[in-house]
Amino acid sequence: MNCDIKLTYYVIINDRFKSNIEDTRVFRGSEIDSDHKLVESKFKFLTHGKHNHKKKDKTLHTKPPAFKVYLLEQESIRTLYRNRLKGKLTMLRGEIDTDWLKIKEAITKAAEESIGYKMWKTRKWLQTWNEEIQRAIEEKKGNIYKTKQWITTSI
């Protein structure tokens, strides 16, 4: 006797927010002591603030430094890292915040000394960027903006 049971689970949401739902999943193994299943939805809420067309500070979006973790596959470097880490770790006091900072600092210092940071590759096309290209892009954006204004005023 092969009985396929198909159930439909609903998410109740205001009509104006229904386009903001990105994903909905049902978790069947959740221990909630009920015959119901746990339903989770991911939403994307847009902020309708004023858009700033000024140049943004690009230092906020830089990649954080990453360590050359692949070097730890070599036995000699792995033992060097272990020894440096043992030397950096000190006794913990039982305070979560200070202990966490000490452990984090010990791990990063040992990794800096033993394996070092990755060097991020620069893109070649960024090296050819000049004022002429910048002016062409700004002119194109201006034309697009003018076209959008013309379309909205002619409707």
pLDDT of 30-45, one tens digit each? 566 667 777 888 888 7
Instruction: Give residue-wise pLDDT tens across range 100-149.
Output: 888 999 999 999 999 988 877 665 555 566 777 778 888 888 888 888 77
Residue with the two structure tokens 């200070």: 98
C-alpha 44/C-alpha 19 separation (Å) is 9
pTM for the model stands at 0.40
